[in-house]
Amino acid sequence: MTNIQQRPLPDSFSSDASAFERVLAARGLRGPADLDYGLGRLLPPAQLGQVHDAAVLLAEAVTAGAKVLIVGDFDADGATSCAVAIKSLRSFGLRDVGYLVPNRFEFGYGLSPEIVGVAAAQHPDIIVTVDNGINSVDGVYAAQQLGMSVLITDHHLPGEEIPSADVIVNPNLPGDRFKSKNLAGVGVIFYVMLALRAELRSLGWFRDSGITEPNMSQFLDLVALGTVADVVPLDQNNRILVQQGLNRIRSGKACEGIKALLNVAKRNTDRIAASDLGFAVGPRLNAAGRLDDMSLGIECLLSDDETSAFKIALELDSLNSERRSLELGMQNDAQKIVDDIAIGEDETPCAYVLSDETWHQGVVGLVASRIKERTNRPVVALAPGEEGEWKGSARSVEGVNVRDVLVRVDSLAPGLMDKFGGHAMAAGLSISGSKLQRFGELFVQATAEMTRDKDWRKVIWSDGSLSANDLSLEFAEQLRTSTPWGQSFPEPLFDGYFQIIDSKVVGERHLKLRLQPEHSSQHIDAICFGYLDEHVEPENSRVRIAYRLDINEWQGRQSLQLIVQHLE
C-alpha cells in the first residue's frame, strides 16, 4: 500500500511563496541564497582529522621520489578515487605511482593479506587505500611486516578494531570533528590531495622543481561522479563538490573518460544533471567491477586521449548491456521466490533473504535493490562464489539500519558470517553455503526485533501540487540546474489529478501517456517506466499521479515531460 504525503514545511513558511521556495524550504534551505555553491564555502581540509599527517607522509614520498601504490575498490567511487589520487600525485611531480584493484571474484573487498602479497611484487614504499581499508586489520599488518607504510583513506564505518596504519583519514573515525560525515571515498582522497598540495607549497616544492602548482578544481568532475554514484547523502558540502563538478562538465572541461562515457550514454554534456551521473555514467563504470575488472574503468578515467577513452567507454557500454541482461533474468527469479514466500505466509515478511545457485555475485546488489523497491522491505540477495562461499548484498528501507541488523545477527550467532560490513542502507557479507538457511532465519528475526513498531506502508513524499504556470519548461529547467539532487536531498516530486487523454505501451514495459491537468486545458506528455511489470494498462480515466518534471529533447526541440513515479 502506498501513501502520498506532503513534505512538512517550517511553521513560518509563507503561503504566498513560490513553488521553488516551497521545495527549498521542505529540504531545510531558507531560500535561493543557500544555493551558493562557491568553493569558498567548502569545509577547510584542516578540519578533517589526521589530514595533515597524511599530507606530511605523502609530501615525503613526493620529494623523495618514492614508489606509491594506490589500492582501490571495484565500484565507481573506488575508480574515481583511484583516478583522483593518481592524477593529483602525477601533477605534483611524483612519477612512480601505480594502482591495484582487487578482483572481486578472486580477492573480495579491501586490503586483504592476499592483495598485499600481490602488491608486494611491485615493491611500493607506501600503500594508499582509497574507498577501503578501515576494516583491513590483517592486511595493514601484513603490509607493515613487509616494510611498507600504509595510509588509509576511507569513509566507511569502522569496526571494533582499528587497523594500525601509519595514518588514517576517515571522517567517520570516532572523535573526528569534521562536520560532514557524508564524504564519499573520492571526497576523502580529494581532501587529502588538497592538504598535500598545501604541504608541498609550504616546502617550496613547486617553486624549486619548476612545477606549475596544479589547480585542484580540474579533478572535481571525478569527485562529482564518485559522490553521486556512491549514493552518499548530499549535504551542503557534498552539494558544493557535485555542483562544481557539474559546472566543469557542462563547460566542456571534463576529463576524456567522463566525456566518452557521456557520449556512449547519449547524454548532452551542456545540460548534464546529477541524475545523469547516477543513472547513465555510474552504471557503465560499475559494470567493469561487476562483471570483469575495474582496471578497465580506471584506465578510461585516466586516459588523456579522446580516441582511446572512447574505445574503452564502448567496452564498458557493452559490459553494461550484458549486466542489464543478467540483472533482468535474476530479478525475475527473485520475484518468483518472493511470490512463493507471499503465498506461504499469512502476512508479508519483514525482510527477504534470496539466493540462487545460478546468480552472478557481481549483480546481486542490483537485484536486492530492485526487490527492496517493489516490496518496501530489507532484502539480502546472495550468489555462490568459490569453494562453497556465498557473497551477499543487502539493501534496506528508511528506518531500518541494515548494518545494525547484521551486527545483531552476528551477536546471535558469532562466526555465522565470515565477513560483513556496510552502511545503514547497504551492506555486504560472505557466508558458507551450508549456513544460508540459518542466516535467513536470523536475519528475519533480527529485523523483526528492530521494527516492532514500524509502519510498513510505503510513503511517497510530495512537494505538493503545481499550478498550470509551474507546469512549464522554465520551471523544469530551474529545478534541473539550480542544485544537484540526490540521496537525502531528493529531487522534487509533485502530485496532482490528471485526465488520461491517450496511452500506449513502449519498450514492452513502459507506459507513455498524454495527460490533461485538472482545471487546465493543456496537454502534457508523461512516461511511467516499468509500469507494466506490476500493472495492466489503465483506461482513459481520471488518475492521481506523483511525478517529476523533466525536459524531453528530440531532434533539437525541447518539450515538458512528466516522469511518473506513482499512478493510482
Per-residue pLDDT in tens (0 to 9) along the chain, 568 residues: 678 999 999 988 887 889 999 999 999 998 777 899 999 999 999 999 999 999 999 999 999 999 999 999 889 999 999 999 999 999 999 999 999 998 766 666 789 999 999 999 999 999 999 999 999 999 999 999 999 999 999 999 888 899 999 999 999 999 999 999 999 999 999 999 999 999 999 999 999 999 999 999 999 999 999 999 998 999 999 999 999 999 999 999 999 999 999 999 999 899 899 999 999 999 999 999 888 889 999 999 999 999 999 999 999 999 999 999 999 999 999 999 999 887 666 678 999 999 999 999 999 999 999 999 999 999 999 999 888 899 999 999 988 999 999 999 999 999 999 988 877 888 899 999 999 999 999 999 999 999 998 988 888 999 999 999 999 999 999 999 999 999 999 999 999 999 999 988 887 788 899 999 988 889 999 999 887 777 777 777 899 999 999 998 887 789 999 999 999 8
Task: Please check whether residue 500 lies inside any domain of the structure.
Answer: yes
Q: Which residues of 485-501 are buried (b: 16+ CB within 10 A; e: fewer)?
A: bbbebbbbbbbbebebe
Give the distance between the most distant pair of CA atoms in the chain: 75
CA 428, distance to chain mean position in Å, is 15
**Inter-residue contact 137 to 110 (CB < 8 Å):** no
Q: What pTM was computed for the model?
A: 0.91
The strand pair at 524-528 and 510-517 is best described as antiparallel
Q: Give the position of cell 504566498.
A: 16
Q: Domain check: are 308 and 163 in the same one?
A: yes
Range of the domain at 465: 2-33+459-567
Q: Domain check: are 481 and 410 in the same one?
A: no
Task: Please check whether residue 46 lies inside any domain of the structure.
Answer: yes
Q: Domain check: are 445 and 464 in the same one?
A: no
**Inter-residue contact 138 to 112 (CB < 8 Å):** yes
**DSSP-based helix, strand, coil % in the chain, nearest 5:** 45, 20, 35
The strand pair at 379-384 and 126-130 is best described as unpaired
| CB contact set of 437 (below 8 Å; sequence gap of 6+) | none
Q: Domain check: are 463 and 409 in the same one?
A: no
Nearest to 359 by CA among 350, 368, 372: 368
Q: Domain check: are 257 and 353 in the same one?
A: no
Q: Domain check: are 124 and 202 in the same one?
A: yes
Q: Domain check: are 267 and 365 in the same one?
A: no
> How many domains does one find in the chain?
3
Q: What is the CATH number of the domain that holds 510?
A: 2.40.50.460
> H or E element: which one contains 225?
helix 220-229
Q: Domain check: are 294 and 213 in the same one?
A: yes
DSSP 347-360: S--S-EEEE-TT--
Which of 399, 425, 454 is a domain's end point?
454
Which of 403, 429, 454 is a domain's end point?
454
What is the total residue count of the chain? 568
Provide the residue type at 415 as one letter. G
Q: Domain check: are 290 and 162 in the same one?
A: yes
The Cα–Cα gap between 92 and 60 comes to 12
What is the side-by-side strand order in the sheet with 417-422?
352-355, 379-384, 389-395, 426-432, 417-422
Which of 264, 299, 318 is a domain's end point?
318
| CB contact set of 213 (below 8 Å; sequence gap of 6+) | 197, 201, 206
Q: What is the CATH number of the domain that holds 369?
A: 3.10.310.30
Task: Please check whether residue 327 lies inside any domain of the structure.
Answer: no
pLDDT, tens only, 467-524: 999 999 999 999 999 999 999 999 999 999 999 999 888 877 888 999 999 888 899 9
Q: Domain check: are 446 and 464 in the same one?
A: no
Phi and psi torsions of 227, nearest 5°: -65, -45
Task: Please check whether residue 336 lies inside any domain of the structure.
Answer: no
Q: What is the CATH number of the domain that holds 88?
A: 3.90.1640.30
Using alpha carbons only, how large is the chain's radius of gyration in Å? 24
| CB contact set of 388 (below 8 Å; sequence gap of 6+) | 432, 433, 434
Task: Please check whether residue 338 lies inside any domain of the structure.
Answer: no
Task: Please check whether residue 424 lies inside any domain of the structure.
Answer: yes
Nearest to 401 by CA among 447, 453, 349: 447
Instruction: Let me know if 442 is exposed, middle or buried by CB neighbors in 10 A (0-12, 13-18, 19+).
Output: buried
* Neighbouring C-beta atoms of residue 56, cutoff 10 Å: 15
Q: Domain check: are 98 and 210 in the same one?
A: yes
* Neighbouring C-beta atoms of residue 25, cutoff 10 Å: 20
Q: Domain check: are 194 and 310 in the same one?
A: yes
